[in-house]
Chains A and B, each alone.
Chain A
Amino acid sequence: MALLPLRDAIERHVRDGQSVALEGFTHLIPFAAGHEIIRQGRRDLHLVRMTPDLIYDQMIGMGCASRLTFSWGGNPGVGSLHRLRDAVEKHWPAPLAIVERTHAEMAVAYQAGAGGLPFGLMQRHVQTDLAALPEAVVKPIECPFTGETLSAVPAIKPDVTILHAQQVDAQGNVLIRGIVGAAKEAAMAARCLVVTVEERVERLRTESNALILPSWLVASVSVVPGGAYPSYAQGYYPRDNGFYLAWDEIARDRETFRRWMQQHVLDVRDHAQFLRALGVAA
């Protein structure tokens, strides 16, 4: 594990054309890392994430992605992701190929990837038109023991998984608390794991069966307080719902969106400056 400034971590580990999963199920969403990818102008990424949320809306609208694998693409509790919709409906700023799965399929796919399997298994009872799409990836498979038909869900193995977590200790072990989503599975499925954390502590005060990513699994850790803002980091800050509501207006119009991103992401040095400019941090 290398302790790196976020700028260096992204420069070193995220390349054009890679598949990149910024996970965190509505909690601990790695906004700071996403913004740094935008600042560094990465292109042609295959973005993977169960719930794209505002961070992928921003990355897609800024032209970072050519492909998206996801299972629910809305603004949680608010409505649409207008930049994602514009990319799918009107191909702006560029066409976006989508691979759509269900939440359960994404979870199984990460799990299979984490275990080094080509696919994961699910019961095959679900009747959905998703299975009939040309892009559909889930296939039927016969159980060799019972003969029943199951669903084979191809594994997801991102080139890079990026997570935001609460703490890293002096040895580089990373602790995630609260709602963990598929963070562990996405971490273990990736070729390279990049982490941002709220703070560095001497020792993690927790039980041994807590969600800890051992230091030797982690390519780099960057200390970025507020790195999940405007989503939340349990024990540190809540979700800024005002921001999620405001985003609906900002993202609705292409020019308003571009101006906002220029001012708040491209023209700022780092996440601390972003938080100060918004008046969230002193």
Chain B
Amino acid sequence: MPDTILVIVEQREGKLNRVSWETIAAGQAISAQTRWTLEAAVVGSGVAAIAGEVAAKKLARVYDIESLRLEPYTPDAFAHVLQEFLGKHPAKLVLMPHTYQVRDFVPKLATALQTTAISDVIGYKYEGGKLVFTRQMFQGKFVADVSFAGSGPCFVTFQNGSFRADKVEAGAVPAPVETINVEVPDGVVRNKPQEVFKEAKQAVDLTQAEIIVSVGRGIKEQKNIEMAKQLADALGAELAASRPICDSGWLPMDRQVGSSGQTVAPKLYLALGISGAIQHIVGMKGSRSIVAINKDSEAPIFEIADYAVVGNLFDIVPPLIEEVKKAKG
């Protein structure tokens, strides 16, 4: 098998999903160490412009994989097209960002190729000619180094924020772009997707907030959110929450932070009673500073906190509100 790393970038409705730059950064890093050839592919209909954008980076080649049936996205079409492509252009490693769309088709594609995907990876190690991928387990309490035991290709999906988009190296010259037209026969695509829409009227844009006070399950009851709101008001902060709080209807969906909600990077993220499940952390780990209050000293949120308080938030938040008010004068 030729030693090629293939990064499949993500596009939605003709626009490149920016998280793809992180995957290219990962591909470049692995390529530099292993000396395997790095290539990229964009999959869609009428996506030549995206292929051009990607070709400006340091890569050996970019494939523009085209079919009218690739728009709108369906797992059947994407798996079919990529299975055919990879059959003709074998790769040792296939890298993608761990987006909801990738999760929707990569396990299908990998299985069709009788191989496997190591998903939600946060890093890698290349030691003694062996590549292992690091991923979180047990909601972040542990990490695992995972090796590929098959004959390939090995699919790897990278967690948002695990590599830095700004580390992507530009190419000295644009990489050659090869357009590949793939047929998707009738009957392959079984799902009929409708228009994408936003449900909650977005009353608040958390991505613009400088300070966020966020509540998790540790807030215990809906009425206790009032206390968190008082803290938010005292700090001039926006109120946010982890998924279970919004699922219960205690706060509206537009206040959800996490993989299904908003991704935020405020100056300060104050997490009250939030354990730090992976799906939440991906939405806020880019915050400039993080303060966490939780009664469980083992809570994964403490891995990423700058300041940590192990204690009962119901004891701590009231005097905290007073001290903030005092400090503000």
A complexed with B: no
Chain A residues near B (Cβ < 8 Å): none
